[in-house]
Homo-oligomer: A and B are copies of this chain.
Amino acid sequence: MTVDQTLKAHDLKKTYPRQIILGLFAKHDQFLSAEDISQAFEKNGHPVPLSTIYRILDQFIEKGLISDVHVETSSVKLYERAHAHHAHHLICTECEKVIHVESCPVHDYEADLSKSHAFLVTHHTLNFYGVCEACQKAHS
List residues of A whose CB falls within 8 A of some B CB.
70-72, 90, 92-93, 99, 101, 105-106, 109-110, 113-114, 117-133, 136
Contacts and interface: CB of A to CB of B under 8 A. Distances in A.
Given A99-B119, A119-B132, 19 more contacts: A70-B71, A72-B125, A90-B113, A90-B117, A90-B119, A99-B117, A105-B105, A113-B128, A118-B132, A118-B133, A118-B136, A119-B133, A121-B128, A121-B129, A121-B130, A124-B127, A125-B125, A125-B127, A126-B126
A106 B99 CA distance: 17
Interface core residue of A70, A109, A124, A128 (most chain B CB under 10 Å): A128
A69 to B, nearest CB: 8
Nearest to A110: B128
A93 B124 CA distance: 12
Contacts of A120: 130-132, 136
Contacts of A129: 121-125
A76 B133 CA distance: 33
12 contacts: A70-B70, A70-B72, A90-B121, A92-B119, A99-B117, A105-B109, A118-B136, A119-B130, A120-B131, A120-B136, A121-B130, A125-B127
